[in-house]
């Protein structure tokens, strides 16, 4: 059976309690669209309240620490996310990789810690503009996958991969559908290499400037199992337009 398209909003470092209204509106709409799986990743300060505010949608963290607990001022442990009501966490977002020096090895360790805490994980990968221009995009992403994906038993069952070209994040630029198709095919092949049959069912999300205007086209690409949405997830209206696009595709 083909799994539901998965549309995840990444609020990044945005949102105070007023944002809970957006979460509620997203939740109400998602309840009417059972053929799409919807989730939001609010900032850690809003996780618990978001969980309390919604009924249908998934709620997740944006990052977690490698260690289970300890003297890591300012960091959040996977078990704390779980305790606050998270279903999943994102790890390896390019903003974490670039601004916090997270290597593939760190991302892998975080993914393992999250799985160990009972969370699902979304592992992000993606090339820079220079890497794409040099013709290395697919090899870069395949290497990121080989080194950042968790390998513990049954890891594939609780895993999604988000392909997010760094140059497309927050820029309004998106790759061509041909490039998305080629990359997602390469990601699928790599997942099967790593996990065997289970790698065939891991959802591969596209992320980077997904908006209402391009969502239908991007979500229709072969092997695109959903979207990780940043800027356009900050209002229920713009996020739901993307969720709606996913729902309409499912009907066609």
210 binds ligand PGA (CB under 6 A): yes
The residue among 11, 7, 34 whose CA lies nearest residue 162 is 7
φ, ψ of residue 169 to 5 degrees: the values are -80, 115
Exposed, middle or buried by CB within 10 Å (0-12, 13-18, 19+), for 185?
middle
Residue by residue, DSSP assigns 17-70 as GGGHHHHHHHHHHHHT-TTEEEEEE--HHHHHHHHHH-SSSEEEES---SSSSS
Residue 20 CA to residue 10 CA, distance in Å, equals: 14
Stretch that binds ligand PGA, among 76-84, 110-118, 134-142, 163-171 (CB under 6 A): 163-171
- Count the neighbouring beta carbons within 10 Å of the beta carbon of residue 67: 14
CA dihedral 48, 19, 64, 10 (to 10 degrees): 140
Query: CB of residue 69 vs ligand PGA: minimum separation in angstroms?
Result: 27
Q: Would you count residue 246 as binding ligand PGA (CB under 6 A)?
A: no
The length of the chain in residues reads 252
Binding of ligand PGA by 92 (CB under 6 A): no
- Name the residue with the smallest CB distance to ligand PGA: 230
Residue for token digits 């309840």?
Answer: 31
Of the pair 157, 213, the CB lying nearest ligand PGA is at 213
- Stretch near ligand PGA under the rule CB under 6 A, chosen from 111-119, 135-143, 192-200, 226-234: 226-234
**Number of chain positions touching ligand PGA (CB under 6 A):** 13
Residue 205 binds ligand PGA, judged by CB under 6 A:
no
Q: Stretches 62-70, 78-86, 203-211, 237-245: which one binds ligand PGA (CB under 6 A)?
A: 203-211
144 binds ligand PGA (CB under 6 A): no
Catalytic residue numbers read 93, 164
Nearer to ligand PGA, 92 or 199 (CB): 92
Does residue 169 belong to the site contacting ligand PGA (CB under 6 A)? yes
Residues that bind ligand PGA (CB under 6 A): 10, 164, 169-170, 207-210, 228-232
């Amino acid at each position: 059976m083909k799994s539901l398209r998965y549309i995840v909003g990444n609020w990044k470092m945005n949102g105070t309690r007023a944002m809970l209204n957006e979460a509620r509106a997203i939740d109400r709409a998602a309840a009417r669209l059972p053929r799409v799986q919807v989730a939001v990743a609010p900032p850690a300060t809003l996780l618990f309240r978001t969980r309390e505010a919604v009924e249908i949608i998934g709620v997740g963290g944006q990052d977690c620490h490698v260690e289970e607990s300890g003297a890591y001022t300012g960091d959040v442990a996977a078990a704390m996310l779980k305790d606050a009501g998270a279903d999943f966490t994102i790890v390896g977002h390019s903003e974490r990789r670039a601004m916090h020096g997270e290597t593939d090895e760190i991302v892998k360790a975080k993914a393992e810690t999250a799985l160990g805490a009972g969370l699902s994980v979304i592992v992000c990968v993606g090339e820079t503009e220079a890497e794409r221009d040099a013709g290395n995009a697919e090899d870069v992403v395949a290497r990121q996958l080989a080194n950042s994906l968790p390998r513990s038993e049954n890891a594939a069952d609780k895993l999604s991969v988000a392909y997010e070209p760094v140059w497309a994040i927050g820029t309004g630029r998106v790759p061509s559908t041909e490039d998305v198709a080629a990359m997602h095919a390469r990601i699928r092949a790599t997942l099967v290499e790593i996990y065997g049959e289970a790698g065939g069912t891991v959802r591969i999300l596209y992320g980077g400037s997904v908006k209402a205007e391009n969502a239908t086209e991007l979500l229709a690409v072969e092997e695109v199992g959903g979207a990780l949405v940043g800027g356009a997830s900050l209002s229920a209206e713009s996020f739901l337009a993307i969720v709606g696009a996913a729902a309409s595709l499912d009907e066609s």
